[in-house]
Structure 1
Amino acid sequence: MATQRETVDFGIDLGTTNSAIAKAEGADAVVIRNNRQREFTPSAVYMSASGNVHVGDAARARVEADPDNACAEFKLRMGERGEHMRFKASGRSMTPEDLSAEVLKSLRGNVTAGTGESIEAAVITVPAAFSLDQCDATSRAAALAGLEFAPLLQEPTAAAWAYSVRDAPSKAFWLVYDFGGGTFDAAVVKIEDGEFTVVNHAGDNFLGGKRADWALVEEILIPKAEREYGLRNLSRDNRRAAGNIAKLKAAAENAKIELSQSEATDVLVDLRREDGELVDFHHELTRADVEAVTRPLVETSIALCRRALAESRTKAGDIERVLLVGGMSQSPVLREMLADPTEGLGIPLDHSLDPVTVVARGAAIFAGTQRIPRSLKSKPTAAPGTAALELEYAAVGQDTDPLVGGRARDDAVQDWTGCTVEFANRESKPPWTSGTVALRPDGGFTLRLRAEENTKNTFAIVLRDRHGTPVATDPTSLTYRHTGLIGAAPTLSHSIGIGLSDNSIETVLAKGTELPARKRTVTFTTVAVNKHAGTGLIRVPLVSGEHPRVDRNTVIGRLELRPAEVRRDVPAGSEVEVTVSIDTSFRATAEAYVPILDEEIEIDVDLARSTAPGLADLRADRAELEHRYDDLRERASEVDAPEARALLDRFDSQDTLSEVDRLLRQAEIDPDATATCLVRLREAQTVLDGVEEHLELPQIIEEAKESLSMAKEIVQQAGQAEHRADLRRAEAELDAAVEERDQALIRRQTDELRTIAVRVLDESGRLPVVVFASLEHDLADHPSPQVQRLLAEGRRSINDGTVHQLAAVNAKLRSHLPDEGSGLDLEGQASTVRGGDRR
């Protein structure tokens, strides 16, 4: 059904624990209550044996009583392939997108019940740390829920929108501290020249209030239930204990909330023994208990805040205030730690808006700035005698005299000369009118309105024919919201790059890039593709993430060109131009252009993640992690590498292996634990990657010094003035790179030194001799008689002084070197392109 609204107006906070929907009204927004008159709805789904779906409080209660047919906290698995929940009674299964769609349908139903309006458009929020695949899954859930237009907005940005309608400064920095039920985001917001923009963020998709809940269950409630009530095997990896565990988890969550206001509360639940007997479990939980399990989580969140500040080159002293968002931010110990200048950030805290609904309110305020696409609105083909108005204007802005352009259309009117239009705001004080504005013969007009500040202005439209008689119009009014502060363009949450053959990444669009964005980069093939021989493969992986290694990031797309798919041979070193585009809702597209083929090929961007690995694979990864740690610890003890030892000490202090072991135990039954375990393993391997790089640094520096010595000798013997100048510059840059201990830069300068040496040898005519010496070394033991004849011919050329013949010999010898593509995982995931230039 098409809508009559000009702007979206509705914003949804699709949360891990609870969800809410709000509607833009005036300069602010109001939260729409559900059928229980609550401002938020639990993100839980229950399915009866007949297949009827229930969402909200009733479903949340069923998670405890009937865990085989109800589920919650499925947001964190958005984007994964395959089913998430199989409802035993009905036999049906649902993906995370299906489950989220049911929550969105419920929120849409709240609007219909409360206002009588059926909405087809809403802004939906996502955590800033959400990856592209998770954003894409959210968009799919919106479509399944009947929302035909659903722009995505990052949660910290939504919170900034909510606070922007209050006493916002003209120039300042804010820090949005968003600690929700399942995720944490820290975002640095810059306010300047009437705009605010998120300049950087840091987050953790698995750091949320649910971890505190589970800690209370596992560290306090389960031990007491087993010790004093005779229950056995109460663990998350025991499916038979699922009902008891769910009850304890819900009780812990409720107690945690209550302890924000009181010092102690009673946990009372009915638990069932293995013999079927019910026992009345009782435990007095105290605020101190909650503080004990919350502190480590808050410490982690503060570290992420500091990282966000450091990466944006701001200090705590630059931040005017910290905006508290999310249910966990109501915790007294959290606020105490965060405000402390030593333990926390020492920045004033602002919790003047309800942290549970502030994101929905901000999303609605932003939604009031978003025009609904014409395809979703009632088409301006009005009834006979009614003129259709096509209006062009900004729905929101800082101008108090916004410009409006438009055109009147009516099949019965060919010439609009003598007709007028008038806009009037009868609610303003005093009432305002534009006066009559003459239409052009084609029905077009432009005029300026007068808007009251910091509120939503509605202007009635009056169209008159050449006789002054009013003519009915569609639409009949226009709305414009004035604001003193407006959000700038959204920014990219995670970098997008191309995986290269050396397992490094060529970044195309960096984290923090304003959206929409489009950029092209050039790579070069490392493998020749021979059409007739059927050999070779061009593979260009597209990845998302911040890790320096390809295999630590998420592959979101892949170009693969096989011999049967090309029109001609593609030699190694051929260009492959890759262009990546991403819109304001984080939807990515990519295409590649291969000049030698003169073909443009769309890269399939598949944002659905593979199903999480099985427990056997995770356990094998854990064993490999420990083995790698032991090896690196031993190597670090043998060399002077303080940075490597510091990283290993950090690895120890975080008790990484123990945490992975705990997650592996939980993963027997909890799919979220599987996903979290995979993330933690990847993070741990990344730390060890850093250790490995620091351990390699002495060797890299030694290789650089050898290359410098070689280049100096060659330039001294055969170089010209320009070569000596290039060498001095390259040596100075190498010294700076060594001083900074920047491995990538050291490698780059080492390559530059070698390039200078090769150029001197080439220009002096000595390069063929040097190349032959290298080939002779590599092929000395080659079994082919032809290779041995070529080597003998090359040696004769050098002895006879006929060096010019060496080029042909070298070309023939190169063909006998091992295939440049051999050893590559051509049927697996490895890239077959590199960065740099054609060399």
Structure 2
Amino acid sequence: MARIKIDYGIDLGTTNSAISRIEKGKATIIQTNKRRDTMASCVAYNKKGVIVGDDAHRFYRDEKFKALSKEVRVNSFIEFKRTMGTDETYHSSHLGKYLSSEELSSEILKTLKSFVTDDNFSSIVITIPAAFKINQIDATRRAGKLAGFEHIEVLQEPVAASMAYGLDSGKKDGFWLVFDFGGGTFDSALIKVEEGIMKVADTEGDNHLGGKNLDFAIVDKVIIPHIQENYNIDNILSNENKKSVYRETLKPFAESLKNELSFKDSHSVYEEDGCGFDDDGEEIEIDITLKQSELKKVLSPIFQKAIDVSQSLLERNNLKGNLLDSLILVGGPTLSPIMRGMLEKQICKPDTSSNPMTVVAIGAALYASTVDVSEEVREQTRDTAKIQLEIAHESSTVEMEEYVPIKILADKTDGEIPKKVFAEITRGDKAWSSGKVEINTTGDVVEIHLLEGKTNVFDVVLYDDKGNNLECEPNSFNIIQGSKIGNATLPYNVGIEIKQKVTGKIFFQTIKGTEKNQSLPAIGTRNGLKTQKQIRPGMETDFIKIPIYQGEHNSDGTRAIYNEHVYDIIISGNDLPALLPANSDVDLTINLDKSQKMSIQAFFPYLDHTSEIEIPTNNVQSVETNWLQNEIRKAKGSIIELKQDGNHSDDSKLNKVEKEIEQLEKSFENNKNDVDGKQGVLTNLRKSLKTIDELSAKTEWPKLEEEIKEQFYRLEKANTDLGNEKTTQIVTQFRSQLEEVIKAKDVKIGNILLEEINSFFFELTLIYQLMAMVRNFNENFGDYNWSDSNRARQLVNSGINKISENPDAEDLRQLLVSLYDMLPNNERPSGDDSVLVG
């Protein structure tokens, strides 16, 4: 039959994954072939083929144990979700090739799909961390395509969890905090609920914080020190490759300690065979007994990072933990009594009514029941011999009655349609029915009654005027009563790299309409951008570059490099129908659909032309080891300079960021050969660098204050000589703003004011500046290497004549553009002239 809603949801987790679907109106977990709710997110290859799930995880553990005593070719893989969207690959000796993260993820998706034996479906909702960036989302979609799904929607994991929680919860108002600590990622989401309608208010997360970090903390601080007490392994630890393999090999022991101590006070790990040999050839034996209190010292710093992220989220929304109505736990590590105790002490007592291992999958299915399948998929599955219906109902509601339009789609129906057709809608519990209502191709509206706090299933039966049953599609629909999920929101600011008009500085600027927490779908616009040079038609070497970035909270005005690069849009002369002069306007529009797919339009008013740009969905990220090492070194140098300067005025913040850089350097040393580890270091380094920039800005204030005053007095003098009543009012406003900025000593606002003062000075004196440029070319004509000296001489003479009469600023500007075009690049104004100016 034709499927109307997607109905199936998958929680594609770092450590475990699950699939669920809507059955008779209820979201139900589909059990694995091992009769479990979840399956290990592990893929292995033997000589016969692929192994997925729990069996693959046993293969992985065996492989790691063997690697302790001898060199083993790797054929089992875990935690590849953390490298989605990167250039990391995994080599299988049995396959004889390298596999990407999405190829491995596709095997998880295919296996989960295979557990559904009574239905054939090709549409799916796949959950993603809220902090996933666009390239990671694209990689998730690619994995879905490789798994055979034709229609893929993505849903943020905290949104899925809140939807599942909200349906069963009696709490219909207030604020919920979703604390999602998974195997590889951490998300914290603040949900605002009003009369059952849920809206994501704000999110924060870390794509490199999760159970993996807990495991390696146990390896580094418990297991390796234990081995070092009894054996000599200095050679292993001093070799980066050997150390990386060794830490991975010991990880299963760490997992055992972590998982067992979530339910008991102490646990022992004893392994006497197959644990490898030390540097002296002695066989290593592991015999560790660890208490929960000892484990707390190891894991608390990592749990604290997640709690700090959550507290920061609450603080910027002016909330405290005691004002939360619910703290919802998601992810296996949240079963830890250590974490739960820390949360209760620092935020509030967690609500443990939902299963943290399956709540995301349940929410994904609930959401899937509200999403229409794509028209393409629906057309493929229609049984046109049956009467085709359009039932335009709300998928979820907080009302007790809903009006449902229903009509016949004659153009989609090949079978015979009687002159008179009647529809009867019956609720699943048989306690309510609409009675027979006549319908046609125009449509009619049926008022239906809902059961409170449930997923209501309604059956649709058609009759002819003689009472005979008529087959139809669809013949049922669902409406969730009691909660309504608002649209997903943008997890990051979406913006562009832009050049400041006056200072020439390159920085990140959010596009209005695509700010963090904006509801999806979203449309952002930025009008009045300026080109720096002319673009000649048909010339590929003439181009405009628009770098797209994603930025964190408070990213506006930061260096573009501190944000996540998405894609560089290049519009060249090949893309334009005619000559685009320098200083032409460019109006930018960014469209993001509900799954964050991005498309862009660049409109050129001068040409009345729009360039349509689709962002590629196959971009991957990479982090070059030497570059990252150098960035850490530069950060340490900046801290030394700040200490020497002494004007940063915040020693505590400086000391804190210094410790952060020290920790990042240690983490980098442990992860030089690990793409995921390096990505995590880079993410946290960017945060520290922003703090360093803030501290550095305070040392810049005295110089900036002097420059603002100097430029203001210059403007004031120019206004006295050239201004009028209107310009005098503007200058007076600048004086008032200057006094406020000096009082606040705010570098960011000071730079904006400086730009505005300089920009207004430029406008006020433009004609005189243009005249001065023409005179300079005339007086120093022979000093320039003109491509066409005769033509240049004619233009300069023309300019001198214009000056002697009544010059027009635009005429002089166009004349100067033509002159600059006849100069070699090294004699033109410096800077990246492909980036737009704002």
Query: Normalised by the shorter chain, which TM-score bucket?
Result: 0.7 to 0.9
CA spacing shift, 1:234–1:252, aligned 2, 3 Å = farther
User: CA separation in 2, counterparts of 1:464 and 1:768?
Assistant: 84
Greater shift in the superposed pair: 192-201 or 536-545: 536-545
> Equivalent residues in 2 for 1:2-21 (5 A)?
4-21=2-19
SS of residue in 2 equivalent to 1:199? strand
Q: Which residue of 2 aligns with 1:42?
A: 40
User: CA separation in 2, counterparts of 1:759 and 1:100?
Assistant: 57
Q: Which residue of 1 aligns with 2:355?
A: 354
Q: Which residue of 2 aligns with 1:376?
A: 377
CA spacing shift, 1:492–1:118, aligned 2, 3 Å = same
> Equivalent residues in 2 for 1:43-122 (5 A)?
43-50=41-48, 52-66=49-63, 68-81=74-87, 84-112=89-117, 116-122=118-124
CA contact (8 A) 1:136 1:586 kept: no
Question: In structure 2, what residue type is equivalent to 1:404?
Answer: V
User: CA separation in 2, counterparts of 1:779 and 1:677?
Assistant: 56
CA spacing shift, 1:135–1:47, aligned 2, 3 Å = same
Q: Which residue of 1 aligns with 2:68?
A: none
CA spacing shift, 1:549–1:241, aligned 2, 3 Å = closer
1:320 to 317, 325, 328: 325
Question: In structure 1, what residue type is equivalent to 2:712?
Answer: L
Shift of 1:97: 0.5
Shift of 1:234: 4.5
Q: Which residue of 2 aligns with 1:294?
A: 299
Q: Which residue of 1 aligns with 2:672?
A: 667
Shift of 1:372: 2.5
User: CA separation in 1, counterparts of 2:239 and 2:51?
Assistant: 27
Q: Which residue of 1 aligns with 2:610?
A: 600
CA spacing shift, 1:781–1:367, aligned 2, 3 Å = same
CA spacing shift, 1:160–1:554, aligned 2, 3 Å = same
CA spacing shift, 1:174–1:746, aligned 2, 3 Å = same
Q: Which residue of 2 aligns with 1:149?
A: 151
User: CA separation in 2, counterparts of 1:378 and 1:530?
Assistant: 46
Question: In structure 1, what residue type is equivalent to 2:129?
Answer: P
CA contact (8 A) 2:216 2:247 kept: no
CA spacing shift, 1:809–1:239, aligned 2, 3 Å = closer
CA spacing shift, 1:224–1:609, aligned 2, 3 Å = farther
CA contact (8 A) 2:771 2:812 kept: no
CA spacing shift, 1:268–1:4, aligned 2, 3 Å = farther
Shift of 1:782: 9.3
User: CA separation in 2, counterparts of 1:45 and 1:540?
Assistant: 39
CA spacing shift, 1:493–1:595, aligned 2, 3 Å = same
CA spacing shift, 1:497–1:244, aligned 2, 3 Å = closer
CA contact (8 A) 1:593 1:600 kept: yes
Q: Which residue of 2 aligns with 1:676?
A: 680
Question: In structure 2, what residue type is equivalent to 1:506?
Answer: Q
CA contact (8 A) 1:229 1:279 kept: yes
Q: Which residue of 2 aligns with 1:208?
A: 210
CA contact (8 A) 1:400 1:452 kept: yes
Normalising by structure 2, we get a TM-score of: 0.87
Shift of 1:253: 1.2
Greater shift in the superposed pair: 708-717 or 13-22: 708-717
Q: Which residue of 1 aligns with 2:502?
A: none
1:338 has 2:343 as partner: yes
SS of residue in 2 equivalent to 1:459? strand
> Equivalent residues in 2 for 1:265-276 (5 A)?
265-269=267-271, 270=273, 271-273=275-277
SS of residue in 1 equivalent to 2:150? coil
What root-mean-square deviation, in Å, do the aligned CA atoms of Structure 1 and Structure 2 show?
3.5
Deviations 1:246-276 (A, max 9, x none): 4421111121111122121101234011588
Q: Which residue of 2 aligns with 1:641?
A: 648
Q: Which residue of 2 aligns with 1:573?
A: 583
Question: In structure 2, what residue type is equivalent to 1:768?
Answer: Y
Deviations 1:453-473 (A, max 9, x none): 222333333322222322233
2:508 to 498, 505, 508: 505
2:732 to 720, 725, 728: 728
User: CA separation in 2, counterparts of 1:715 and 1:211?
Assistant: 62
Shift of 1:220: 1.4
CA contact (8 A) 2:639 2:658 kept: no
Q: Which residue of 1 aligns with 2:419?
A: 416
CA spacing shift, 1:769–1:590, aligned 2, 3 Å = closer
Shift of 1:231: 4.5
User: CA separation in 1, counterparts of 2:804 and 2:828?
Assistant: 33
User: CA separation in 2, counterparts of 1:405 and 1:236?
Assistant: 71
Deviations 1:215-253 (A, max 9, x none): 110111112213214445444965456665444211111
CA contact (8 A) 1:25 1:456 kept: no
User: CA separation in 1, counterparts of 2:39 and 2:836?
Assistant: 49
1:280 has 2:279 as partner: no
CA spacing shift, 1:10–1:813, aligned 2, 3 Å = closer
User: CA separation in 2, counterparts of 1:185 and 1:588?
Assistant: 23
SS of residue in 2 equivalent to 1:833? coil
Deviations 1:77-132 (A, max 9, x none): 11113x520102321321000111111111112233xxx22332222111111101
Shift of 1:189: 0.6
CA contact (8 A) 2:774 2:816 kept: no
Q: Which residue of 1 aligns with 2:472?
A: 473
5+ residue gaps in structure 2? 65-73, 500-504
Question: In structure 2, what residue type is equivalent to 1:393?
Answer: H
Question: In structure 1, what residue type is equivalent to 2:252?
Answer: A
Question: In structure 2, what residue type is equivalent to 1:657?
Answer: E
Shift of 1:535: 6.4
SS of residue in 1 equivalent to 2:328? strand
SS of residue in 2 equivalent to 1:576? strand
Question: In structure 1, what residue type is equivalent to 2:596?
Answer: F
CA spacing shift, 1:822–1:293, aligned 2, 3 Å = farther
User: CA separation in 1, counterparts of 2:699 and 2:458?
Assistant: 69
CA contact (8 A) 1:664 1:677 kept: no
Shift of 1:559: 2.4
CA contact (8 A) 1:520 1:577 kept: yes
CA spacing shift, 1:622–1:757, aligned 2, 3 Å = closer
1:123 to 122, 125, 129: 125
Q: Which residue of 1 aligns with 2:180?
A: 178
User: CA separation in 1, counterparts of 2:697 and 2:560?
Assistant: 15
CA spacing shift, 1:778–1:494, aligned 2, 3 Å = farther
Q: Which residue of 2 aligns with 1:695?
A: 699
CA spacing shift, 1:593–1:470, aligned 2, 3 Å = same
Q: Which residue of 1 aligns with 2:450?
A: 451
Q: Which residue of 1 aligns with 2:67?
A: none
Q: Which residue of 1 aligns with 2:220?
A: 218
Question: In structure 2, what residue type is equivalent to 1:288?
Answer: S
CA spacing shift, 1:405–1:256, aligned 2, 3 Å = same
Question: In structure 2, what residue type is equivalent to 1:731?
Answer: R
Deviations 1:381-434 (A, max 9, x none): 6476x43333332233233332233333455646624x3222223624xx2221
Q: Which residue of 1 aligns with 2:636?
A: 626
Greater shift in the superposed pair: 126-135 or 228-237: 228-237
CA spacing shift, 1:393–1:707, aligned 2, 3 Å = same
User: CA separation in 2, counterparts of 1:773 and 1:737?
Assistant: 34
Identity in percent: 27
Shift of 1:448: 1.9
User: CA separation in 2, counterparts of 1:806 and 1:463?
Assistant: 76
User: CA separation in 2, counterparts of 1:240 and 1:108?
Assistant: 38
SS of residue in 1 equivalent to 2:199? strand
Deviations 1:788-833 (A, max 9, x none): x99xx99xx9xxx97968989999889579879654457xxxx521
CA contact (8 A) 1:556 1:607 kept: no
CA spacing shift, 1:589–1:567, aligned 2, 3 Å = closer
Greater shift in the superposed pair: 776-785 or 237-246: 776-785
CA spacing shift, 1:370–1:241, aligned 2, 3 Å = same
User: CA separation in 2, counterparts of 1:412 and 1:368?
Assistant: 28
Normalising by structure 1, we get a TM-score of: 0.87
User: CA separation in 1, counterparts of 2:94 and 2:451?
Assistant: 57
User: CA separation in 2, counterparts of 1:471 and 1:812?
Assistant: 77
